[in-house]
Amino acid sequence: MDGSFLIGSKSETTDNTFRAMNPATDEALDTDFAVSTTGHVAEACKLADAAFDSFRELDPETRAVFLETVADEIEATDGLVERAMAESGLPEGRLTGERGRTCGQLRLFAKLLRQGRWENVVVDNAMPDRQPLPRADLRQRRIAVGPVAVFGASNFPLAFSVAGGDTASALAAGCPVVCKGHPAHPGTSVLVGQAIRNAIKKCGLHEGVFSLIQGPSNDLGKALVEDPRIKAVGFTGSRGGGLALMKLAQARPEPIPVYAEMSAVNPVLLFPEALKARGTDLGKAYVGSLTMGAGQFCTNPGVVLGIDGPDLDAFAKTAADALAEAQPQVMLTSGIHANYDKGVEKLTGEADVETLARGAEGTGCNRGQAALFATSGKAFLANPNLAEEVFGAASIIVKCADMDELKRVLSEMEGQLTITFQMDDADMDAAKAVLPIAERKAGRILANGWPTGVEVSYAMVHGGPFPATSDPRTTSVGTAAIERYLRPVCYQDLPDAILPKAVKHGNPLGLPRTVDGEVEG
């Protein structure tokens, strides 16, 4: 394995190195990875800026083929899943699936590029005879915002890392990417980075379209966000990390948008009739969603709201029994494991919080021991600590006095990625009354499923009001993610000879357009 980082087409090394840890054993893995310097960050940004104009003006077909080539190269990378397993502690099946999702989303963006609506071409034809003043010919399209900084996330070493959703959507938009690899999986990052570089070479693109910065220090990320050539930031991770990036980005001479997907507890609402009819099944399914992947998902169900009474007690009992049997799983890093234990310990010690169950205890390193708590609606309303995310398989059941209190609890919660309704037909009126509250709070509202498992598609919204994300106007999963990296430009009376192809009079790219307010093509 090559321990170099990637600045354009150059593989760079420094004397300063670090190693990945295997979280299952707390032992360092074998390869020394060179730590980038802030000088390398500047060099990568300079190359990205140099690549920008040519990359953004590629025909959509060429950029689509490039994305597909990245996917092909990732699939052709030997040892990728094995390395990701060693660096993340995640099992093979999960990582094979994640690789499929990573390549699938690259190919979906390729399809999107070919469909052409992403460019949002809008034409208002000239009206030279209009009174009192003529109207000029006006043509709008969306163009790439500029080079984008992407921060790899630890919990999806493939799907939200070097060639993950942020990178795929930025490249699709026509933005060169400078990626800061997550220090927990540098080997995985290099392998994927090399796949992107191979695709750049095969497609004959400018080397600056992609660079990979590596290292454990926050200074690299700071330098990246502060570089004047960077025009937007994509990040998935902790609230603290996201807030720090937002602050840096706002303090720049030219502030830039940060798309940070941060923290959520993803409330699950148990409506009374559903709880009565299938509380036992729900209890089991809940624990299944909660403990999947050691609970290390942004959409993990961290809070359950129900009306106090025997039906909720039965649900809680089933959940507690199931959770007690949950086997410990290796968490992503020792830091995440330590934070998880700290969060669980804090909740355990809070007044009016009952520990309903703990999962089986682990014997190896960094095993996350699941945890289930319960409290009252009143206590939950009084103590904001109880609504804080504990990243991992910990969740709290909130026993509300009645539906009014449940609504109040939901209303006072912070912004969320998801809100889940467990409801039967007889709950319809109650659910309808809660829906407006849920719409204000979350980017996705789902019924009779579980929030974990985020479809990569056209309609998906993986986003939501602060602090779920830094920007609720967008999504980080699904095709709409491309919109984060585009801005509109209007061309007024420009001669056809210099108009960009997308907005030329003859529509040579055959793009769908809105002309004088009506959709064409």
Q: Does 268 bind a second copy (CB under 8 A)?
A: no
* Shortest distance (Å) from residue 212 CB to a second copy: 25
Considering only residues 367 to 426 of the shown chain, the ones binding a second copy according to CB under 8 A are 414-415, 421, 423, 425
Rounded least distance, CB 127 to a second copy, Å: 10
Residues within window 181-240 making contact with a second copy, judged by CB under 8 A: none
Q: Which stretch binds a second copy (CB under 8 A): 150-158, 182-190, 267-275, 443-451?
A: 443-451
Q: Which of 79, 228, 364, 453: binder of a second copy (CB under 8 A)?
A: 453
Q: Could you give the count of Cα atoms lying within 13 Å of 462 in the half-sphere of its Cβ?
A: 28
**Which CB atom, from 342 or from 432, has the smaller least distance to a second copy?**
432
Task: Assess 445 for contact with a second copy (CB under 8 A).
Answer: yes
Could you give the CA distance from residue 385 to residue 346 in angstroms, rounded to a whole number?
A: 9
Q: Which are the catalytic amino acids?
A: 261, 298
Cβ of residue 50: shortest distance to a second copy, in angstroms? 12
The stretch near a second copy (CB under 8 A) out of 7-15, 185-193, 321-329, 490-498 is 490-498
CB nearer to a second copy: give 118 or 210.
Answer: 118
Long-range pairs, 360-363, Cβ under 8 A, ≥24: 360/324, 360/325, 360/326, 360/327, 360/328, 361/328, 362/328
Note the residue count of the chain.
Answer: 521
- Opening angle at CA 479, ends 260 and 459, nearest 5: 100
Q: Is 455 near a second copy (CB under 8 A)?
A: yes
Q: Is 248 in the site for a second copy (CB under 8 A)?
A: no
Contact with a second copy (CB under 8 A) among 470, 476, 502, 504:
470
- Write the interaction track for a second copy spanning residues 14-53; mark x where CB under 8 A is met and - where it is not: ---------------------------------------x
Least distance from a second copy to the Cβ atom of residue 513, Å: 10
The candidate with the shortest Cα–Cα distance to 400, out of 243, 275, 295, is 275
The C-alpha R_g of the chain, in whole angstroms, comes to 25
> Which listed residue (65, 123, 262, 386) binds a second copy by CB under 8 A?
123
Whose tokens are 């990040």? That residue is 235
Binding mask 125-164 for a second copy (x = CB under 8 A): --------x-xx-xxx--x-xx------------------
Query: Which residues inside 317-346 make contact with a second copy, applying CB under 8 A?
Result: none
Q: Tell me, letter by letter, the H, E, C secondary structure of 384-422.
A: HHHHCCCCCCEEEEEEECCHHHHHHHHHHCCCEEEEEEE
- Strand, helix or coil for residue 15: coil
Among 39, 92, 240, 440, binds a second copy (CB under 8 A): 440
Please give the Cα distance from 30 to 84 (Å, whole number). Answer: 14
Q: Residue 9, class by beta-carbon neighbours within 10 Å (0-12 exposed, 13-18 middle, 19+ buried)?
A: middle
Residue 465 makes contact with a second copy by CB under 8 A: yes
Strands 268-270 and 177-180: unpaired
Of 387, 439, 441, 446, give the one whose Cα is nearest residue 265: 387
